[in-house]
Amino acid sequence: MKTKILQKLKETEGYISGQELCDVLGISRTAVWKYMNKLKEEGYQIEAIPNKGYHLLHVPDVLTESEIKSRLCTKWAGKEIHCYERVDSTNQAAKHAAEQGSLHGALFLAEQQSSGKGRRGRSWVSPKGTGIWMTILLRPQLEPSYASMLTLVAALSMSKAIEKETGLKAQIKWPNDVVINGKKVCGILTEMSAEMEWIHYVIIGLGTNANIEEFPEEIQKKATSLKLESGKEVERVPVICAFLSYFEKDYENFMIYQNLLGLLEEYNERLVNCEQEVRILDSKGEYTGVAKGVDASGALIVRKEKGETVKITSGEVSVRGIYGYV
Amino acid sequence: MKTKILQKLKETEGYISGQELCDVLGISRTAVWKYMNKLKEEGYQIEAIPNKGYHLLHVPDVLTESEIKSRLCTKWAGKEIHCYERVDSTNQAAKHAAEQGSLHGALFLAEQQSSGKGRRGRSWVSPKGTGIWMTILLRPQLEPSYASMLTLVAALSMSKAIEKETGLKAQIKWPNDVVINGKKVCGILTEMSAEMEWIHYVIIGLGTNANIEEFPEEIQKKATSLKLESGKEVERVPVICAFLSYFEKDYENFMIYQNLLGLLEEYNERLVNCEQEVRILDSKGEYTGVAKGVDASGALIVRKEKGETVKITSGEVSVRGIYGYV
């Protein structure tokens, strides 16, 4: 109901009377009054003038179900939304909810993560209110070994969402980072619960540095935020909605082929590693080559110095740029 | 401490005095007396004669940590044991414990499962006290796509354990059943939690029909129990301990190669499908062939009628015998 009131307020250019809200939404004047107070508590500035009605003056950048849903046009992505002030990690919250039956496309957001995680248990700094710490739950009919490609799909969707909402050129560092000007702005951690040949669920956690103003010295050269790059405070909800909208389409495209075929051109255009010299560390040692792009299975194609071409899956391999982070 | 007292009682041929137990274990007479009462409550028959001491007359077939540990000689398998009277499923219990930090090799057992699961969410009947409903937790350093082979390892270990403890010929129906005389006696459900290229944990659930005396009519032709096949009540704890002991060795063998190479001969000897005509149902249709065995990756090698050889992974494929269940 709060979502519906918010949508009405947003649709209305001038003032909407309390009575009209009652009539349209089928609720009492008292209920309208209560919802308005709730919205005000969340930071919405709502003008209320007797005999004229309500008018929305300012929309805060709050991560609430109503705010997101009032802006969202998707079929299934983000139809179920859970917002938290503070969680251990949104992936952890998503896992619990998945075990309890949360739906395909459910979204989990937090203002703060007390123990945000990167890949392989590395910690991920996620301070309060300055990031987009979110996880999307998927229930794909897919072989477990294909699930890792979903990370690449999410990276593509997030890079497009950032570009749309900030105008910044967002690229992808294979396999699971979004970078701006050579620095990481978003990291992705995909996890799954599966049987031998059957996925129970996949969760994709995306940590995006939105309005972080300063990073610890040891990561200043390789981490950045949307605010640092654009020079202004970034509203988080539009980025979230844009991501969900792109991701819904990209995911459906992926599921048609059960590979990246339909997304390959777009992906490789955004691939920061493309035509770059990369250093590959695998279990047998270290070598350099030139990254040529990603194939439909999500493997990175690298041409070694002597002309030999190898396909790299992300397993035990670390890909580093010769100069700096990418 | 209860485990230690139980071990002492089992080691002693005649009577062991309360004072000796106090001295050896460093506890009070009152404590000894309390533990003896606990053991009696669990069904142990313990004779207590003044001036002689305690003597163990009968060991009940109870699934308790003490009883299992008093018989177990392993390095890591079953070093942590959780026994439940009733759980939703032992896989579910293992998942929760894994998230809380339970160790590699931890064992989860229940007298009864309220919602035991087979593959793909199929239900698994698991009545009270008549089965071995258990799950082992593993934390292998292994690529997620290799985890499915662990089902085959567990099937091998369980077939050997059943044979050792009952003398029955236990075979394997690829990929995840143990069968006796052509009927299923044990089903295996392997699940995992993983990142793209890194396993958090694997849980292997094994449901073994131990002393079930009657099956519903619709599965009588394809299901059996150790009791039905051997004609006598089977003690469950020895089967569990034998499984853990075999599994520890088989798992370590598997991890050396990260495939089934070292277990292949033993596995194929026990493979009930071997040299049998099988019917394969895959997404493209149905065909028949002769199963020739399993390769090191766990795939079933099938020679089609026209001589062509195909390798089958368990994905969307159903393998059925031409005659009956296997």
Mean pLDDT of A281-309: 87
Considering CB atoms only, which of A144, A151, A198 is closest to B144? A144
State whether B192 and A191 contact (CB < 8 Å): no
Helix axis angle for B2-11 and B18-25, nearest 10°, is 130
Q: Look at residue A319 in the predicted model and tell me its pLDDT.
A: 65
Provide φ and ψ at B315, rounded to 5°: -30, -105
Task: Please tell me if residue B205 touches chain A, with a CB cutoff of 8 Å.
Answer: no
β-strands A107-113, A81-87: how paired? parallel
Q: Look at residue B277 in the predicted model and tell me its pLDDT.
A: 86
Taking only the tens place, the pLDDT of each residue in A144-154 is: 889 999 999 99
**Among A52-66, A162-176, A250-264, the least confident range:** A52-66
Q: Which residues of A touch B151 (CB under 8 A)?
A: 196
Task: Please tell me if residue A151 touches chain B, with a CB cutoff of 8 Å.
Answer: yes
Mean pLDDT of B97-101: 94
Q: How close A197 comes to chain B (CA, Å)?
A: 5
- Non-local (6+) Cβ contacts of A269 within 8 A are none
8-state DSSP, A275: T
Provide φ and ψ at A243, rounded to 5°: -60, -50
Size of interface A-B (CB pairs under 8 A): 64
pLDDT higher at B185 or A321:
B185
pLDDT at B238 over 80: yes
| Measured distance CA(A102)–CA(A79) in Å, rounded | 11
The closest of A325, A302, A326, A324 to A313, measured between CA atoms, is: A302
Q: Which residues of A touch B135 (CB under 8 A)?
A: none
Taking only the tens place, the pLDDT of each residue in A240-252 is: 999 999 999 999 9
DSSP letters for A158-180: HHHHHHHHH---EEEETTTEEEE
Name the residue of chain A whose CA is nearest to B176's CA. A196
8-state DSSP, A103: P
Task: Please tell me if residue A91 touches chain B, with a CB cutoff of 8 Å.
Answer: no
Taking only the tens place, the pLDDT of each residue in B190-220 is: 999 999 888 999 999 999 999 999 988 888 8
> C-alpha angle A139/A141/A147, rounded to 5°?
75
Q: Which residues of A touch B119 (CB under 8 A)?
A: 195-196, 198
Mean pLDDT of B54-69: 91
State whether B193 and A189 contact (CB < 8 Å): no
Q: How close B72 comes to chain A (CA, Å)?
A: 29
Provide φ and ψ at B211, rounded to 5°: -115, 25
Taking only the tens place, the pLDDT of each residue in A111-145 is: 999 888 877 777 777 788 799 999 999 999 998 88
Global ipTM: 0.78
Please answer whether residues B74 and B50 qualify as being in contact, where contact means their C-beta atoms are separated by less than 8 angstroms. no
Task: Please tell me if residue B195 touches chain A, with a CB cutoff of 8 Å.
Answer: yes
| Residue B320 pLDDT level (bands cut at 50, 70, 90) | low
Count Cβ atoms below 10 Å from residue A131 Cβ, excluding itself: 26
Please answer whether residues A144 and A117 qualify as being in contact, where contact means their C-beta atoms are separated by less than 8 angstroms. no
β-strands B81-87, B131-138: how paired? unpaired
Task: Please tell me if residue A89 touches chain B, with a CB cutoff of 8 Å.
Answer: no
| Measured distance CA(A104)–CA(A110) in Å, rounded | 19
Helix axis angle for A29-42 and A18-25, nearest 10°, is 110
| Residue A317 pLDDT level (bands cut at 50, 70, 90) | low
Residue position matching structure tokens 């396993």 = B199
Q: How close B314 comes to chain A (CA, Å)?
A: 7
Q: Look at residue A45 in the predicted model and tell me its pLDDT.
A: 93
Q: How close B227 comes to chain A (CA, Å)?
A: 30
β-strands B183-195, A183-195: how paired? antiparallel
